[in-house]
Structure 1
Amino acid sequence: MKKIATVFLLIALPFSVWSQTFIGNTLDNYSGINSLLLNPANVSGSNTRAEFNFISISAFVGNDYISVNIGELQKNDFQFNFDSDTDTSPSNDNNFFGNVDILGPSVMFRLNDKSGLAVSSRVRGFFNVNNISGQLLESVQEGFDDQSDFESQMTNLSGNVHIWGELGLTYGRVLIENNYRRLRVGGTIKYLTSAGGLFISSSSLGVNFNSISNTLNTSGTLSYASTQGLDLQNTDFSTLQSILSGTTGIGGDLGVVYEMQLKKDDAFDSFYLSSPYKLRLGLSLVDFGKVNYTGVSEFNYEMNASINASDFEDKSLDEILDENYEGGESLVNPVIGLPTSLQFFADYNWKKRLYLSLHGAYSLAGSELKYSNSIVNSLVISPRFESKALSIYSPISFRQYNSGVMWGVGFRLGPLMLGSGSILSNLISSSSKSTDIYIGIKFPVNEKK
């Protein structure tokens, strides 16, 4: 049990893992394939004839339980001490979340002036823990010897890790285009193959610690399931081989983009966009779909018992559950849903190469769902400078479970892109609870003049 709590805490540390995806980058008119992750309609009317993505990696982690003063860490040459460099905010319903998105070899090209096509490969991993007792985590992590009495009641506890691969085919088309407006639509169909998942849940779980008797009284229920031989003591996914041989499914994205065009006599010089706009609006349904598993072992326990807290020091979770609680194993056929979300954006061209965008992401997969991952609801405001060779953007984010404002910076320079939606705020803040970073290399083929 202590080992599992340690894994949860390490994953949740704001600097420990390599996001939402490519924050600030996907609205760049020259972001190419990366813009399709936000809205597949962007594949049509592209400003490049073709683009090949070699590799792009984005990651995002956060929580509302533990915070780190990264500025102080920097002063101490990043010599990290868990006790002195962190602050905790334990509650009955703490949350941890993270994801990694690897966009592998992919290609996008313009079919003609009205349509475009893209073929993409991705590997993705999501981690969610919702409504877990921070006091319990702290006690398991640090040991119960020095803990005072506490009581926690967790409702709709859920935790899951899921890793899968995607092969996507995207098509988009311009439906309406004239001097004043343009309407584009697009969609992506995804072939999914899963490397596996790990899931823990409880509709109600109570814990009461008595420091005098050193006992932990528990009540309620607890269940967990793991696919492809994974268990609570071993979360080592065998990457590419397991993804290629894993369970399969189908998913997709749908999107629409509307642009209010400039009049011809207001158009920019030929160095800039061939089809400029004053305001661009987009709406998309991202990551709908599922992976179906069969014959997965699920373990269910009645948690009404009292146990010695010292058991957490030298026994595995399996041993604690089997020795102290009534339960059993059953075979289930779980349907693991993708982190479905509704995405929208508004991109305003303020002056020539200067833009101001608003991007919102809202999860349609509830955190209480037993076998589904979910994104973190967020709202991002991002000014940017944009040209063919160089783009610079500075996103300001408001994120669910985060009490502060996240501020970052990123750029695209030729084939290289690099950025973070939180690096600036993390450097100046004394309480950092989430972070993200991305990097990528891709090769655009621009239109000949």
Structure 2
Amino acid sequence: MPFRVKLLRHLRLLFIATSFTLGAYEAQAQFTLGGYSNSHYAGIHGVPNNPASAAGTHYKWDVNIAGIQGGAGNTYIRFPRSILLHPPDSLQALKQNRDYFLDTAAASTKKQLAWGNVDVMMPSVLYSIDELSAVAFTWRVRSMANGGNITTDVANFFAQDFPNPAFANKRYDMPWANGSFHWWNEFGFSYARVLKDDGNTVFKAGATLKLLSGVAAGYAQVDNATFVMHSRTNGEINDGTLKVGYSDGLANWQNPALSNYKLFGNMGVGMDVGITYEWRATVDGLTGYDDSQWNTEADDYRLRLGVSITDLGSITYKKNPGSRDLDLRTENVNTSDLRVRKGESWQQYYTRISTYFTALPSEDKFRMNTPAALNITADYNIDGRFFINAGGRMALNAGKFDPSKTYMISYFQVTPRYDARYIGGYLPLTVNRSGQVDAGVGLRLGPLVIGSSTMLSNLFQKNKNRLDGFIALRIIPIKRGEGKVGCPGTNF
């Protein structure tokens, strides 16, 4: 089989979980690798998580050549290892209890979720003006898919051979279910500065202003729906509304997918802001860059704390005329007609089923919010090479108030790490808001950084429901020669 075909099949598999259920995209959609992105060697790769980290860094300059992070997963469906090596040609080719296993026994109150994301960092650069201030330019191309918040009994109703007579004559409630997709481009312009340095304490602050341009976006949200299926051909929906909006870019999707990418199609603005605090056990403070390349005192802190708010912003899209809100109430609907027919695109499906319901007035534009999040980190320096990093991320716009948004997962992470000048190792341990626990591994070898926050967990799990990966190549200053004994900044 040609390599290109194999690659496309594996990429398709990455998003199968999202296609199977109305899940909530909850991946770590920042350009980040656990532990590495919050380390003092992250350079340009630390700016998307906290722009204040750019000030007083080790590097006089740092250039990202290219980097990519991707992830997908869900809480409802697991896949065996074998399917990763031999992905199916289509969703229809998958067989239940052979190619996938459903979490049908979960409590009915549990919310089922799924997710997928890709974040590509294009050529980007950080430049330290001096030991007190720095500027950075980042270029990222990002995409996310969100959705979910349906209970297990509703997920079973649609996933178990729908329409299945076994689920007949029972009332189902769907207070809130949502799904969205967003693909956008962003140019970030950052400035960071040391505000205070008295030798024992160092305060830094930074901000990134973003110029956003949207490629494609769409959303759907069901509110307060109740329904009963009487048979395979008859059902009723007693209450509920469906809010839908999608852009022309999504309606007129072309193959291959990259042919849809166009700059400056739908404009918007965004912002990241952040601060850091460093406590130093001995009075030294920050020094300058020796030979204009290396700040030796950048990591002499004993404890560093950071707080940032990222991805404040939005992009406005014009609604495609085919997208409209619907009143779902109907006393008689052919339940079988609600299935997606063979060869039917999602646009054709929505156009068809919308004829069964009453259209509601809606705006001709929608604003797609970017995934705002609050980030808090603590970094403890054990002996100059070994560190412990703890951090949390909390989504700021994951509620049901506004359906047209993408949003982060809320999670907590602890990462032991080893960091020397040209080598680093990271062992992120993560628990997300759904209670899923993951262990991963990362490695920094000079200009190359590679890793995954789920790699170790997946090695020991027979059936898997999430995966992710990170790889980036950068150009950093390399200075040969011996470092000073006891100075962690020059230890390797």
Give the TM interval when normalised to the shorter protein.
0.7 to 0.9
Please give the residue correspondences for 1:346-357 in structure 2 after superposition, counting only pairs within 5 Å.
Answer: 346-357=378-389
Measured in 1, the distance between the counterparts of 2:353 and 2:171 equals 20
Instruction: Write the distance in 1 (CA, Å) between the matches of 2:281 and 2:203.
Output: 14
Aligned positions of 1:149-228 closer than 5 A = 149=167, 151-211=171-231, 213-219=232-238, 220-228=240-248
Residues 19 and 235 (structure 1 numbering): CA distance in 2 closer, same or farther, change over 3 Å? farther
Other-structure match for 2:113? 95
User: What is the aligned partner in structure 2 of residue 435 from structure 1?
Assistant: 467
The reply to whether residue 23 of structure 1 matches residue 33 of structure 2 is yes
Distance 2:17 2:66 in 1: 28
- Which AA in structure 1 matches 2:140? R
1:289 paired residue among 313, 325, 329: 313
Name the amino acid aligned to 1:419.
Answer: G
Partner of 2:488: none
Match of 1:299 among 311, 324, 334: 324
**Residues 420, 82 of structure 1: CA spacing in aligned structure 2 closer, same or farther, 3 A cutoff?**
farther
2:413 aligned partner, one-letter code: V
8 Å Cα contact 1:157/1:204 also seen in 2:
no
Distance 2:415 2:17 in 1: 34
Equivalents in 2 of 1:45, 1:375: separation in Å?
29
Verify the 8 A CA contact 2:112 2:155 in the aligned structure 1. Answer: no
Q: Structure 1 CA distance, aligned partners of 2:101 and 2:359?
A: 37
- Taking the aligned partners of 1:327 and 1:226, their CA distance within structure 2 comes to 16
The alpha-carbon deviation at position 182 of structure 1 amounts to 1.1
Structure 1 stretch 20-29 or stretch 196-205: which is displaced more?
20-29
- Of 59, 62, 67, the match for 1:51: 62
Question: 1:65 aligned to 2:87?
Answer: no
- Aligned in 2, Cα 1:235/1:349: closer, same or farther, shift over 3 Å? farther
Cα deviation, residue 234, structure 1: 5.5
Q: Is the 8 A contact 2:43 2:62 kept in 1?
A: yes
Letter aligned with residue 247 of structure 2: T
Alignment partner of 2:429 out of 396, 401, 413: 396
Match for residue 413 of structure 2 among 375, 380, 384: 380
Work out the CA distance in 1 between the residues paired with 2:186 and 2:450.
23
Distance 1:265 1:323 in 2: 72
Cα distance in structure 1, aligned partners of 2:463 and 2:258:
34
The CA distance in 1 between the partners of 2:182 and 2:394, in whole Å, is: 20
Code of the aligned partner of 2:100:
T
C-alpha change, 1:183 and 1:202, in structure 2 (3 Å) is same
Deviations 1:56-99 (A, max 9, x none): 111232322212344x768xx65776422433235574222232
Instruction: Decide whether the 8 Å contact of 1:20 with 1:99 is kept in 2.
Output: no
Distance of 2:216 and 2:163 partners within structure 1: 36
**Residue aligning to 1:9:** 19
Q: Do 1:18 and 1:436's aligned partners in 2 also have CA atoms closer than 8 Å?
A: no
Cα RMSD after superposing both structures:
3.2
Determine whether 1:338 maps to 2:370: yes
* Deviation readout 1:100-139 (Å, 9 max, x if unpaired): 2111110111111211111110011111102235555555
Q: Give the direction of change, closer, same or farther, for the CA distance of 1:326–1:45 in structure 2 (3 Å limit).
A: same
Q: Which moved more, 1:139-148 or 1:125-134?
A: 139-148
Q: 1:274 aligns with which of 297, 310, 319?
A: 297
Indicate the residue corresponding to 2:266 in structure 1: 247
TM-score (norm 2): 0.80
Q: CA deviation at 1:203?
A: 1.6
CA distance in 2, matches of 1:192, 1:46: 27
1:12 touches 1:97 (CA, 8 Å); kept in 2? Answer: no
Runs of 5+ consecutive residues of structure 2 not aligned to the other structure: 1-14, 89-93, 482-492
TM-score normalised to structure 1 length: 0.87
Residue in 2 that maps onto 1:106:
124
Query: Hey, what's the Cα distance between the residues in 2 that align with 1:63 and 1:245?
Result: 33
Contact 1:49 1:447 in 2 (8 A): no
Distance 1:143 1:31 in 2: 48
Residue deviations 1:254-291 (CA, integer Å, cap 9, x gap): 11111112326999xx9994331110100001111111
Distance (Å, rounded) in 2 between the aligned partners of 1:28 and 1:259: 13
Question: How far 1:230 moved relative to its partner?
Answer: 2.6
1:272–1:171 Cα change, 3 Å = closer
Compare the two structures and name the one with the higher strand fraction.
Answer: 1
Does the 8 Å CA contact 1:116/1:172 hold for their aligned counterparts?
yes
Structure 1: segments with no counterpart, 5+ residues: none
